[in-house]
């Protein structure tokens, strides 16, 4: 009986997370177009629905009804499975992420996390790096030189940022002594002054940069930068397969925002009069906005600069940070 209840609860949570995040990812495309437009003194989509709100539906209809083209020389099974990998890993990573404080509904305590595993952080980062197989396989199977270049850049990028993100998050883990995101959140109980961002500012900056690289967002959007590699790994994709890449990218963005909010910015602990759930929403919105903001403001960097900055600047800084943290702990 108990087993069945847990099973049902998990399935319901999973469905809710997937549908809500997919909806948010869709809505984020609209927000992105609007924010970028406002920052460039434009209006953005205005014609479909009030203030262009239904542009989302128009885009969805277009994506779903568009012809699904597989190029002649492409490796068909891999070409078709690659976008699924990109989207699925983005959603699977959310299984171990807590979103809100636990609450009671109909006399039943609900933990807004699908599965509280004790290696949550390792799991999330591992699954998120599996997500790079999406662009990699897509680019290699498309039989298109731009796609291939995109795939090569994806590998280069992953090799570079994974080291930085892993090492940078090591210092907070040393402080907390647990990989569970709930433990990390509980470590920061007690207001803004207890946030880890004050104890680990360098780790925060490094992890944020690695997050930008992991989600392929500007200024590190080397693998799909239009001016250099057309659309990178997604050049040959059309219709909903391309849409899956898109949803995966935005879901990744949300995951990284949630991760940064939990690890460094106090998670879902209440601040003053703001309840925890609302604080979490605000922090995640701030981070998603920052992703768009940075895209409007900053130029992107070359792949060789990316490798340079990762291996020669960020990684040594992360190691130094770990050393200092270790000495302070001892």
Partner 1 sequence: MELNDFKQRNIAPGYIFFEGEKAPENGWQAFKKVVKRSLKGELFVGLWIVFREMIRFDIHTIQYPAEKYEMSPRYRAIHRLLRLFESGSERCIGCGLCEKICISNCIRMDTHIDEKSRKVVSEYSINFGRCIFCGYCAEVCPELAIVHGVEYENASEQRAHFGLKADMLTPLDTFKAKEQKEFPGFGALSDNADEAVKQTPLAY
Q: Which stretches of the chain bind partner 1, using CB under 8 A?
A: 35, 38-43, 46, 293-294, 296-298, 313
Min dist. Cβ of residue 211 to partner 1 (A):
16
Q: Is the peptide bond prior to 219 cis by the omega test (within 30 degrees of 0)?
A: yes
Cβ-based nearer residue to partner 1, 223 or 314: 314
- Residue 259 to residue 261: CA distance in whole angstroms: 5
- Residue 159 to residue 149: CA distance in whole angstroms: 15
Cβ-based nearer residue to partner 1, 103 or 298: 298
CB 314 within 8 A of CB 162: no
- Residue 171 to residue 155: CA distance in whole angstroms: 26
**Length of the chain (residues):** 330
Cβ-based nearer residue to partner 1, 133 or 293: 293
- Residue 137 to residue 148: CA distance in whole angstroms: 9
Cβ-based nearer residue to partner 1, 133 or 308: 308
Cβ-based nearer residue to partner 1, 110 or 282: 282
Min dist. Cβ of residue 84 to partner 1 (A):
35
Min dist. Cβ of residue 207 to partner 1 (A):
17
Min dist. Cβ of residue 255 to partner 1 (A):
23
Residue 223 Cα to chain centre, angstroms: 16
Which of 233, 4, 252 is CA-nearest to residue 124?
252
Residue 304: other Cβ atoms inside 10 A: 10
Residue 73: other Cβ atoms inside 10 A: 10
CB 125 within 8 A of CB 168: no
Min dist. Cβ of residue 73 to partner 1 (A):
41
Min dist. Cβ of residue 294 to partner 1 (A):
7
Cβ-based nearer residue to partner 1, 6 or 39: 39
């Amino acid at each position: 009986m108990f087993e069945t209840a847990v099973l049902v609860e998990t399935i319901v949570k999973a469905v809710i997370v997937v549908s809500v995040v997919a909806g948010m990812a869709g809505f984020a495309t609209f927000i992105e177009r609007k924010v970028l437009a406002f920052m460039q003194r434009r209006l953005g989509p205005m014609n479909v629905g009030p203030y262009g709100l239904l542009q989302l539906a128009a885009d969805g209809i277009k994506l779903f009804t568009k012809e699904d083209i597989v190029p002649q020389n492409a490796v068909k099974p891999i070409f078709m499975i690659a976008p699924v990998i990109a989207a699925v890993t983005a959603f699977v990573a959310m299984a171990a992420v807590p979103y809100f404080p636990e609450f009671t509904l109909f006399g039943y305590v609900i933990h807004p996390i699908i599965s509280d595993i004790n290696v949550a952080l390792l799991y999330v980062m591992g699954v998120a790096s599996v997500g790079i197989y999406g662009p990699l396989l897509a680019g290699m199977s498309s039989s298109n030189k731009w796609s291939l270049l995109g795939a090569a850049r994806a590998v280069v990028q992953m090799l570079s940022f994974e080291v930085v993100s892993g090492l940078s998050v090591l210092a907070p883990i040393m402080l907390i002594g647990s990989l569970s995101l709930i433990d990390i959140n509980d470590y920061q109980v007690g207001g803004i002054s207890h946030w880890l961002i004050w104890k680990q500012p360098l780790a925060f900056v490094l992890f944020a940069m690695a997050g930008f690289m992991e989600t392929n967002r500007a200024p590190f959007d080397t693998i799909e930068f239009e001016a250099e590699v057309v659309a990178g790994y997604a050049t040959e994709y059309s219709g909903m397969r391309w849409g899956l890449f898109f949803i995966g990218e935005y879901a990744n963005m949300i995951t990284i925002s949630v991760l940064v909010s939990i690890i460094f910015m106090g998670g879902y602990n209440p601040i003053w009069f703001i309840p925890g759930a609302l604080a979490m929403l605000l922090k995640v919105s701030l981070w998603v906005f920052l992703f768009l903001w940075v895209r409007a403001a900053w130029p992107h960097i070359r792949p060789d600069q990316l490798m340079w900055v990762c291996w020669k600047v960020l990684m040594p800084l992360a190691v130094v940070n770990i050393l200092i943290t270790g000495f302070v702990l001892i």
